[in-house]
């Protein structure tokens, strides 16, 4: 009796295997438009993740600058008037920080970077003067390196995305849910 059970079980499993493989085949049959849409969405998601890393670095640098300014006041490296001036500059930086939309104007990025660079330079000079603040100066340098790296990585993804849209615009335009706008890049700034 046992051999019949195994034979019946084998037939049932073979039937299940055949039906699942035909179902799997049906599910994985994509048209060219489906494949292009999938590639578009993957590129768009990668760009978003890269953008979020850039913004996280900007926010972390801003928090570090805020902390440095407060620590300099506490350790009397700067007086109350200087503290207010630095705080005002930091607040202005946060207001003029670039967005994905404002990046279309490269002057926005350039203005932000110059203002941020000048504030970082001033605080770094003051930080180096104090042994206590040397770590803060090193931290600012690290944020600058990360910022350049993340911008270049974003630019490489944006270039790939823009090229993909340009090459496949006819097929992609069939899907009305896709926004076929090219992404601005940092190249005018990061190529310095």
pLDDT in the model for residue 27? 56
Supply the angle between the helices 134-172 and 106-128 in degrees, to the nearest 10: 160
**Between 175 and 85, the higher pLDDT residue:** 85
What's residue 16's pLDDT? 47
Q: Does 97 or 168 have the greater pLDDT score?
A: 97
Tell me, what's the pLDDT at 190?
42
Give me the pLDDT at residue 26, please: 53
Q: How confident is the model at residue 10 (pLDDT cuts 50, 70, 90)?
A: very low
Kindly report, residue by residue over 25-74, the tens digit of the pLDDT: 555 556 776 788 888 889 999 999 999 999 999 999 999 899 889 988 98
CB-based contacts of 154, cutoff 8 Å, min separation 6: 47, 50, 51, 53, 54, 185, 186
Helix extents (H) in the chain: 2-27, 32-74, 80-96, 106-128, 134-172, 187-190
Q: What is the C-alpha end-to-end distance of the chain, expressed in Å?
A: 82
Q: The whole model's pTM is what?
A: 0.75
Domain residue ranges of the chain, discontinuous segments joined by +: 36-190
Q: Strand, coil or helix: what is 186?
A: coil
Cα separation, 102 vs 105, in Å, equals: 6
So what's the pLDDT on residue 21? 47
Burial class, 104, CB count within 10 angstroms (exposed 0-12 / middle 13-18 / buried 19+):
middle
pLDDT tens column, 69-125: 998 898 888 899 999 999 999 999 999 999 999 998 989 999 999 999 999 989 888
């Amino acid at each position: 009796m046992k051999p019949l059970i195994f034979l019946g079980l084998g037939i049932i499993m073979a039937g299940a295997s055949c039906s699942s493989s035909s179902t799997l085949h049906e599910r994985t049959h994509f048209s060219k438009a489906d494949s292009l849409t999938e590639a578009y969405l993957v590129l768009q998601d990668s760009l978003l993740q890269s953008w979020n890393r850039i913004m996280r670095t900007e926010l972390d640098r801003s928090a570090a600058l805020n902390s440095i300014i407060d620590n300099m006041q506490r350790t009397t490296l700067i007086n109350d008037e200087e503290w207010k001036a630095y705080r005002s500059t930091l607040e202005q930086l946060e207001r003029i920080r670039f967005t994905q939309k404002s990046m279309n104007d490269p002057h926005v990025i350039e203005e932000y970077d110059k203002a941020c660079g000048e504030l970082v330079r001033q605080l770094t000079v003051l930080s180096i003067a104090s042994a206590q603040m040397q770590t803060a100066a090193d931290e600012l340098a690290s944020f600058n390196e990360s910022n350049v790296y993340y911008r270049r990585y974003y630019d490489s993804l944006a270039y790939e995305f823009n090229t993909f849209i340009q090459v496949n615009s006819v097929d992609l335009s069939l899907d009305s849910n896709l926004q076929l706008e090219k992404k601005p890049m940092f190249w005018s700034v990061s190529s310095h």
